[in-house]
Amino acid sequence: GAGVSQSPRYKVAKRGQDVALRCDPISGHVSLFWYQQALGQGPEFLTYFQNEAQLDKSGLPSDRFFAERPEGSVSTLKIQRTQQEDSAVYLCASSLVPPGLRGTQYFGPGTRLLVL
């Protein structure tokens, strides 16, 4: 079946602009994660959803970052008033079961955000 998809694949934003990044997880997957991957670094955790509930947002770097998953499937990561340091690849991953049941995380291709 289809894997995790993300859109747009590339986004160029002017500093101060708001952006919205979309993630379509694998159908039926309960868990959804967002990660941020800066250039030359490994991915870093941002937030986690179990169905529509956002159970962990400890990795969000500032209150300019907001994520939602209102119907327990598609998720949107929104960044308000973008700054240059927000430039990174944003990865979405989904898992069939909650983390406690050892679900494997499947990653999307990422959205590469460049803030000018």
The amino acid present at 78, given as its one-letter code, is: K
- Of 19, 60, 108, 115, which one interacts with other proteins (CB under 8 A)? 108
State CA 56 to chain mean position distance.
13
Judged by CB under 8 A, which stretch of 16-24, 47-55, 62-70, 71-79 contacts other proteins? 47-55
ω into 8 cis (within 30 of 0): yes
- Of 31, 75, 82, 94, which one interacts with other proteins (CB under 8 A)? 31
Judged by CB under 8 A, which stretch of 19-27, 37-45, 65-73, 75-83 contacts other proteins? 37-45
Stated length of the chain: 116
Does 102 bind other proteins (CB under 8 A)? Our answer is yes
Question: Is 94 within 8 Å of 4 (Cβ atoms)?
Answer: yes
